[in-house]
Structure 1
Amino acid sequence: MKTTLITLLAAVLCVEQAYPFMCYVCQEQESNKNCWTISMCEKEDKYCVTVHDTVGTKPNKPKYVISKMCSPMCPATGQQQNQTYRRVSCCEKPLCNVNGVSSKQSSYGVMSLGVLACITHIFARGP
């Protein structure tokens, strides 16, 4: 039983390499809840990108918009132009831009935590 579970876990971790790279995509949405569309990325795309724009139309009430996309490179992380401030985050795992504030470190951390939890569960159950 343990061998089967460990083999299954290893297979799940390796499956990521067999499927095309995918990211969440949306354009200028006012909320992350409107950014659940999954898109197959192009072969050259290596990053899932999330862009938060703060548009300063009114001094006390800035407008926030979020965009998500696939990209072959990670764009500059912070820019200010006129009344707009742009914050960019990039990650390198499929669908890693789900929450809008992804990074490489959080992707690896979540994956490591999941593997550790599975292994702990397998050995805690015993024969």
Structure 2
Amino acid sequence: MTATTRSAGFRPVLLLTGAYAALSVLTLAVIVLFRHHPALVTDAVWVRATLVVASSLLTFAFARSAARGARKGLLRLRIVSAVMLVAIVVIVALPGLFPLWLRVEQGVCGLLLLAVTVLITRRRSR
């Protein structure tokens, strides 16, 4: 399989991880805009959003690496996407720790990562 073919086959994963990164960065921007509204933006929201932005950018970088054929990139993508998916499920399930709007945003991120996880797991089984 050539690098171009591999990259084309990874296009959905790249789009999903790119959307996850974009949504995460956008969320952090919204947090900055609403930083003076303590009911919407708590210290926990700042911490969570910062961690999610960092992990989403790493996830996208690992997806790009995997698309170029790097086995370590694919392994890292599998690990990070699975760990973040579990963390998101916990965040969404825990009542009261985060405002509803962030839990909804995290649910969307979780759906994106679930799709990534399914796609890269299917690739492995082939």
TM-score by length of 2: 0.30
TM-score by length of 1: 0.30
Greater helix proportion: 2
